[in-house]
Structure 1
Amino acid sequence: MYVAISLILVLGISAYFNMPREDFPEIKETKIYVSTLYPGNTAEDIEKLITDPLEDQLKGLSGVIEITSTSQEDYSMIIVEFDDEMNVEVAKQRVKDKIDAEKASEDWPTFNGAKVDPNAFDLSKSEEIPFLNINISGDYPLEKLKEFAEYLQDDIEDLTEVKQADVRGVQDKEVEVAVDIYKMMATQVSFNDIITAINNGNVTSSAGNLIASGQRRTIRILGEIENPKDLENFVVKTEKGNSIYLRDIATVRFKEKDKTTFARKDGKPVVMLDVKKRAGKNMIGAAEQIKLIVANAKENYFPKNLEVSITNDLSDKTIGQVDDLVNNIIFGIILVVAVLMFFLGFKNALFVGFAIPMSMFMSLMILGAMGYTLNTMILFGLIMGLGMLVDNGIVVVENVYRLMDEEGLSRVEAAKKGIGEIAYPIIISTVTTVAAFVPLGLWPGLFGQFMIYFPITLSVVLGSSLVVAIFFNSVLVSQLMTTEDKNMPLKRIISITTIVGGFGLIILIFGGAYRGLGSVMVFTAIMLWVYRLVLRKWANYFQENTLVWLENAYETTLKKSLKRWFPVAITIGTFILLLIAFGGFGASVASQRTKIEFFPDNKPNQVVVYIEYPQGTDIDETNKITKEIEQKVYSVLNQDLYMDEGVNFMVESSVSQVGEGAGNPQTDEGSAAEMPHKGKITASMRQYKYRRGLDSEELRQKVQKALTGIYPGVLISVEKDANGPPTGAPINIELEGNDYDELIATAEKMRAYINSRNVPGVDEIKIDVNKDKPSMKVIVDREKAGELGVSTSQVGQQLRSAIFGAKAGIYKEDGDD
């Protein structure tokens, strides 16, 4: 039995340190996302060519609850929501089958010579939110900073805990062939001639095998260019013996792509890495490994004057929150043992108190084996079960103690008889307690997925406490229990406290991740002396005097309550008090004095400003105005109230992104579209213990007030990091119709009306349709086009090539495309 106890303790401690940690459990939604990228098309064309045909196909799927879609410039996103019983992998395969069927149709659009390829995937929200940013800056060209970022990117993406690390603030390079349209016309060269010449000339292929001299040799035709300037010597067209080279009609440059992203830290440009973790993996472990990778790179690879910093590190906040809850558990154990000591005596309290860590470690071992993470819901379940799990131990220890004290039985006989008497009652008691929480596990939908951790944790904790009480406690009392409460010899106390305290100090100083265990051991050694010198006298006095008085008072009160008309009066009075309680609660809710919410509102660990300009806004213009908004935000964040000797004790870091990476993961939901009209400013708060009692929600409201109404036509939303299950907006008002312009105008009127009413509790009203992008329409005169032998398709293709360009192959440099 002692071997089993030791094994459970070791496995439980191991599970505690190895279980992935996160704020809240990850929720797997039964949604499949279909994203389609089709560059160079308006939102209306995307809807007509991509979204509508796919929606028609997907409507025939079984188990579908709702299909929603968003069509914007260059991009389509369709969300297919299935019922909760549907397996996500099965649903994804069915969606892919429908997509493949639609792609096989003849009128499905093509891009760069291949059919447009929709991507179907499921999504975990935790994989969409970067859990830290790495910022790189210094007196180096952007290209060099990008090299440093890619060096880190390769090592970080090799980690199993990391899904991806995206480079922001710098562009990839491309080979640009800038064609002179007038020279093209003069030489009668078309865009197709140029594209075909580059595609056919920049290629390496195999020509098969040749057998010569008894050997089989592979023949390869090497045609890929080694330098972009090699393209200038490509022959585009030959007529009457005259060759037209690419250099005659175009300029070839190796340059950065058009800007799609900007990144800044504290207002200064940086190259940034957005690091996202894989679902179900240990965020804290990933962050620790990333910090080691960064430290190693700074030590051995990066120049000393390169500035590398880590911001928006969510793992620090998670560690703080988990540690706070663990400290609450430890403090709860101490309080429970202290209370039991006064009622049962020190040694019996230790027998019962033994059940707490034993049940906890057994629970962690089981939960770890089930693949659960150590999150707020699991820890809350452990705290909830803390007071209940000692019940079984109290019953076992008290019954064995009674049999030894009153009937004079030996330890072993008392343990056998005592367990036999109370085994069934405590089993039934545990089962009924667990049964009370079963309905929480049957809650359907997303909330059910979120809440099920609570009843499962309680069931595991109470089940573990039952096993500990029946098996482990019975063994301990059968061998160690005594009815006499004797003083522990002074020499024994000195030896025990020296050993326990000494090992505790060693672990506390050198134990690293196990330092918490060392502090508990030191505290235990100190408390042994406190008990010997102070608490034992108090406990004895309480048992011999106060407890006797309480028992007598209770007996007297109970006898009086059962005489004459008192039972009836007590019953009626209790019922009246129940009615008063229900009525008072109802009145409090009706008067809004008591607020009802499913999940408590959290104090922000991050204040995030999402900025959205009208569609079609150029990214340079977006970046320009975002810089102005940054200054207004920083003026609030760096107020004197939050500064101490030049250091902001409230805000740890602030970063800004424009374009790629600037979307809201709660609303954009896996969108891969370019976002030149969006910006984002993220301010990360310090841990609660450093905030000096100031409210981060008040800071968020100050930022929101400072940005209200300053840029008409620009949607600015000041939000905070989300806690709990994904719920979306508390209230959604949906407008349906065929005319987008009329719908948007009506929505604007509704927003203005609601804002004018100053409804309490309404913080912000957002419209999720952005249809302000100006457009130019080209109307083809069919009669004239027919006379010239030109079709509408040719006009469109030529305009697209001249304005949007076309991909004409791949240039490889150092293994990169």
Structure 2
Amino acid sequence: AKISFADIERSVAYENLTISGGDVAMDGIKRTLNVKKEFTNAQQIADLIIKTPTGSSVYLRDIAEVKDSFKEQNSYASLYGKNVITLNVKKRSGENLIEASDKINALIKEMKGSSLPKNLEIKVTGDQSDQTRVTLHDLINTIIIGFILVTIILMFFMGVKNALFVALSVPLSMFIAFITMPALGSLFGFSFTMNMIVLFSFLLGLGIVVDDAIVVIENTHRIFNNGKVPIVKAAKAAAGEVFMPVLSGTLTTLAPFVPLLFWPGIIGEFMFFLPVTLIITLLASLVVAYIINPVFAVDFMEIEDHETHKPTFDKKVKKTVLIMAGLAVLGYLYAFGLGNFIV
């Protein structure tokens, strides 16, 4: 018959069409007419007439087998030894992986209860957000533990109350950074998300953001001189006295991170949030040290009693020591490390 695949392809394409038939005026409105000639079943394709180069005609069913079926399978998937159908879901670049995973799981749960068959089993495999969640939670826990350790170390050198004044500068500086960074992102054209680079930047700056507060609070405590100078006057004088040294010290700490803002290439786009987060957090620590810490000092710094009191080893202390010794023994029996921790 000398019929080529191109002849068959053209014949099918010319018959399977939806074309415009023009406009018709109806009730003062022009309506568009569409002529729909699309195939609705396999038999219509089989009855298609194909012209040969010699001028004769043949039915497509005479030269080909036409059946309504699935595309030829070229990939296979199995789970627990059974054949399955897989659906790969990939997030867009720059989107939140954990948020995407949560929405997908919520969508699956909703469809199971409404539109999907009851006997259809859906399994989520290869969810990369699980590892991301674990890493994210570990990093958050590290930040919390670091904050506690910083507070404890400050208590050894500054006393409990002054140490708390200084330690509060950590969450306050981070809070100001949280508020500022999305606004700066919309202003300068970068998308701010809470990712591991940002959290690592907070962890890196954990011990740096307290420097300014330490200087201001310690200077306030020195000028206050246990009540010899009014606390409001002492707070103002302390903040003004160390303004330039604290500012210059913070700027010299920030200076090495500024060139990282212009790091080129893919690595630069990836690491961009590290210097941005550190710079904004350290600048926020200046605001906390100059404005919020003096307010804390005015409201809560009190005259201290320096009279020496002879320590007493009374029944309450003995009871506490016995309880802690008992817990230490139980800790050593359970695990050596736990016993050391209690001691």
TM-score normalised to structure 1 length: 0.35
Read off the aligned partner of 2:178 and give its amino acid letter: L
2:237 equivalent among 414, 417, 421: 417
Matched, 1:303 2:117: yes
What is the distance in 1 between the residues matched to 2:273 and 2:200? 10
1:455-490 C-alpha deviation (Å, 9 max, x unpaired): 22221121111110001101121222113169xxxx
Q: How far did residue 326 of structure 1 move?
A: 1.0
Q: What secondary structure, in the 3-state scheme, does the structure 2 residue paired with 1:311 have? A: coil
User: What's 1:340 paired with?
Assistant: 154
- Map of 1:646-795 to 2, 5 A cutoff? none
What is the distance in 1 between the residues matched to 2:272 and 2:16? 58
Matched, 1:361 2:175: yes
Contact map agreement 1:437 1:455 (CA 8 A) in 2: yes
1:457 equivalent among 256, 259, 277: 277
Contact map agreement 1:277 1:283 (CA 8 A) in 2: yes
User: What's 1:288 paired with?
Assistant: 102
Q: What secondary structure, in the 3-state scheme, does the structure 2 residue paired with 1:274 have? A: coil
What is the distance in 1 between the residues matched to 2:52 and 2:144? 85
User: What's 1:226 paired with?
Assistant: 40
Number of equivalences = 302
Change in Cα spacing, 1:476 to 1:225, as seen in structure 2 (3 Å) is same
Kindly indicate whether structure 1 or structure 2 has the higher relative contact order, using CA contacts under 8 Å at least 6 residues apart: 1
Gaps of 5+ in 1: 1-184, 487-532, 535-817
Change in Cα spacing, 1:351 to 1:205, as seen in structure 2 (3 Å) is same
What is the distance in 2 between the residues matched to 1:316 and 1:376? 14
Contact map agreement 2:18 2:38 (CA 8 A) in 1: yes
Q: How far did residue 255 of structure 1 move?
A: 1.9
User: What's 1:45 paired with?
Assistant: none
- Map of 1:430-445 to 2, 5 A cutoff? 430-445=250-265
Contact map agreement 2:151 2:164 (CA 8 A) in 1: yes
Q: What secondary structure, in the 3-state scheme, does the structure 1 residue paired with 2:77 have? A: strand
1:610-629 C-alpha deviation (Å, 9 max, x unpaired): xxxxxxxxxxxxxxxxxxxx
Matched, 1:474 2:256: no
- Map of 1:566-645 to 2, 5 A cutoff? none
Matched, 1:349 2:163: yes
Percent sequence identity is: 42
2:134 equivalent among 299, 315, 320: 320
Contact map agreement 2:226 2:303 (CA 8 A) in 1: no
Across the aligned residues of Structure 1 and Structure 2, the Cα RMSD in angstroms comes to 2.7
What is the distance in 2 between the residues matched to 1:368 and 1:214? 54
Read off the aligned partner of 2:167 and give its amino acid letter: G
What is the distance in 2 between the residues matched to 1:462 and 1:241? 84
What is the distance in 1 between the residues matched to 2:54 and 2:265? 73
Q: How far did residue 237 of structure 1 move?
A: 2.9
Read off the aligned partner of 1:280 and give its amino acid letter: G
Contact map agreement 1:345 1:485 (CA 8 A) in 2: no
1:254 equivalent among 68, 73, 76: 68
What is the distance in 1 between the residues matched to 2:32 and 2:262? 65
User: What's 2:14 paired with?
Assistant: 200
User: What's 2:246 paired with?
Assistant: 426
What is the distance in 1 between the residues matched to 2:54 and 2:273? 79
TM-score normalised to structure 2 length: 0.79
What is the distance in 2 between the residues matched to 1:204 and 1:441? 55
What is the distance in 2 between the residues matched to 1:473 and 1:427? 15
- Map of 1:76-95 to 2, 5 A cutoff? none
What is the distance in 2 between the residues matched to 1:213 and 1:282? 53
Change in Cα spacing, 1:288 to 1:451, as seen in structure 2 (3 Å) is closer
What is the distance in 1 between the residues matched to 2:161 and 2:285? 19
What is the distance in 1 between the residues matched to 2:171 and 2:279? 16
1:672-692 C-alpha deviation (Å, 9 max, x unpaired): xxxxxxxxxxxxxxxxxxxxx
Contact map agreement 2:3 2:52 (CA 8 A) in 1: no
1:370-417 C-alpha deviation (Å, 9 max, x unpaired): 232222222221111111111111111111111111671111010111
Q: How far did residue 435 of structure 1 move?
A: 1.1
Contact map agreement 2:51 2:58 (CA 8 A) in 1: yes
- Map of 1:93-108 to 2, 5 A cutoff? none
Read off the aligned partner of 2:255 and give its amino acid letter: A
Q: What secondary structure, in the 3-state scheme, does the structure 2 residue paired with 1:397 have? A: helix
Q: What secondary structure, in the 3-state scheme, does the structure 2 residue paired with 1:393 have? A: helix
Q: How far did residue 434 of structure 1 move?
A: 0.8
Q: What secondary structure, in the 3-state scheme, does the structure 2 residue paired with 1:392 have? A: helix
1:153-172 C-alpha deviation (Å, 9 max, x unpaired): xxxxxxxxxxxxxxxxxxxx
Q: How far did residue 364 of structure 1 move?
A: 2.2
Read off the aligned partner of 2:83 and give its amino acid letter: P
> Larger % of helix: which?
2
User: What's 2:50 paired with?
Assistant: 236
1:477-525 C-alpha deviation (Å, 9 max, x unpaired): 1222113169xxxxxxxxxxxxxxxxxxxxxxxxxxxxxxxxxxxxxxx
What is the distance in 2 between the residues matched to 1:445 and 1:213? 63
What is the distance in 2 between the residues matched to 1:327 and 1:280? 25
Read off the aligned partner of 1:224 and give its amino acid letter: E
What is the distance in 1 between the residues matched to 2:82 and 2:27? 66
Read off the aligned partner of 1:246 and give its amino acid letter: L
Q: How far did residue 197 of structure 1 move?
A: 2.4
- Map of 1:32-47 to 2, 5 A cutoff? none
Read off the aligned partner of 1:390 and give its amino acid letter: V
1:194-222 C-alpha deviation (Å, 9 max, x unpaired): 33322222222122134589775644333
Contact map agreement 2:3 2:53 (CA 8 A) in 1: no
Read off the aligned partner of 1:420 and give its amino acid letter: G
What is the distance in 1 between the residues matched to 2:233 and 2:283? 26
Structure 1 residue runs of 4 or more that deviate by more than 6 Å after TM superposition: 212-215, 238-242
Contact map agreement 1:401 1:483 (CA 8 A) in 2: no
Read off the aligned partner of 1:416 and give its amino acid letter: K
Gaps of 5+ in 2: 186-190, 307-319, 322-343
What is the distance in 2 between the residues matched to 1:241 and 1:384? 82
Change in Cα spacing, 1:329 to 1:251, as seen in structure 2 (3 Å) is same
What is the distance in 1 between the residues matched to 2:38 and 2:55? 26
What is the distance in 1 between the residues matched to 2:8 and 2:23? 32
Change in Cα spacing, 1:239 to 1:366, as seen in structure 2 (3 Å) is closer
